[in-house]
Amino acid sequence: MEMIHRDSSRSPFFRPTETRFQRVANAMRRSINRANHLNQSFVFPNSPKTTVISALGEYLMSYSVGTPSLQVFGIVDTGSDIIWLQCQPCKKCYKQITPIFDSSKSKTYKTLPCPSNTCQSVQGTSCSSRKNCLYSIDYADGSHSQGDLSVETLTLGSTSGSPVQFPGTVIGCGRDNAIGFEEKNSGIVGLGRGPVSLITQLSPSTGGKFSYCLVPGLSTASSKLNFGNAAVVSGRGTVSTPLFSKNGLVFYFLTLEAFSVGRNRIEFGSPRSGGKGNIIIDSGTTLTVLPNGVYSKLESAVAKTVKLKRVRDPNQVLGLCYKVTPDKLDASVPVITAHFSGADVTLNAINTFVQVADDVVCFAFQPTETGAVFGNLAQQNLLVGYDLQKNTVSFKHTDCTKQ
């Protein structure tokens, strides 16, 4: 399936009046907000509003819902555990430029009863006066969705070219929805851990496997999201690292042991978590976010090797910036190796620096007080495969524009 970057000209979010660098600056700010929410969940796992992340994700996927089917766009979120979309009749819906799904016109739509096992397994459910199962989900930025927990037929694309139907998929039919800023998507497609996330529900067909390959920058090429056998990452250059779950959270945790810049190795330790599962891997956060101490050592090591003129970030977001034309960037900055447990992943200039103005690039890492996030810039041109049965994540350097 296609994953469309929210700032791509093919996205319903696209604003033609914004310059390329305004889009980059906005993505940096969204990234910091999202990373703060992720790390808040990491540190305060019992806080009811931080078990799921907001609709600040950077990628959309197109899928179809109902019979007859209606095409919708949902934000792909590895930090959420439910699929929900806006539904008519709607008590309170935010503005959506694509048609809103009308559940009363679908032959395959059914609400779930309150006593059902599915209703009991989802957090935040309650009973309506008609004994239907109601869901309520609150996000860390104040956004929310409430409505009927239901079953419906979802239709996804496939490698054969023919769409594949998944009848009886559990979805949230949102009758009262608010997003912290006006958006044009239909809702969220949760790819996190949890009983009704898309990946969990597809597991009987896919064996708990999914992968994505993120194209660089704001390319018009779309990134690919694969499930099942098509998601297996293998062959020369593939490295794999154990995947952890923590405190019942829906996020995917990896163990990062260190970074290397040349021969300079910067250890990454987390006494709070005993070292295991100390960083969240997330497709919806743009920057890679590190604890203050690790970040400062890594920034210092990079600064020592780069012989370019230091400048300030015009957006006042990132700390280490240089004056350089993008075509000379690869030769000017060091390769950084992320040493995950059992897997060394080399990060090239495309993964570690972002262009923020005509001749200005900045180090795409950010310090934080708590937690850590391996963001999507660091994952560009990597085929990233999750296997939830083996509990591994695999990486392989790939030209994602050719996937």
Residues identified as active-site: 77, 282
**Residue pair 87/147 in contact by the 8 Å Cβ criterion:** yes
Tokens 């042991």 appear where? 257
Q: CA 306 to CA 321: how far, in whole Å?
A: 10
Q: Is the peptide bond before 216 cis (omega within 30 degrees of 0)?
A: no
Q: Which two tokens stand for residue 368?
A: 């934080």
In degrees, rounded to 5, the angle at the alpha carbon of residue 55 between the alpha carbons of residues 13 and 154 is 85
Give me 264's structure tokens: 């300079």
CB 198 within 8 A of CB 189: yes
306: CB partners within 8 A, 6+ apart: 322, 332, 333, 334
Question: Residue 259: what are its φ and ψ, rounded to 5°?
Answer: -115, 150
Encoded amino acid at 393, one letter: V
DSSP state of 59: E
Query: 392-397 and 239-242 as β-strands: parallel, antiparallel, unpaired?
Result: antiparallel
The conformation of residue 171, written as its DSSP 8-state character, comes to: E
**What is the rounded CA–CA span in Å between residue 111 and residue 114?**
9
Q: How far is CA 318 from the centre of its chain?
A: 21
Strand 2-5 relative to strand 223-227: parallel, antiparallel, unpaired?
antiparallel
What phi and psi, each to the nearest 5 degrees, are found at residue 367?
-80, 155
DSSP assigned state of 80: -
3-state secondary structure 26-41: HHHHHHHHHHHHHHHH
Token pair for 197: 């996330």
CA dihedral 67, 202, 247, 395 (to 10 degrees): -130
Closest CA to 72 of 107, 45, 102: 102
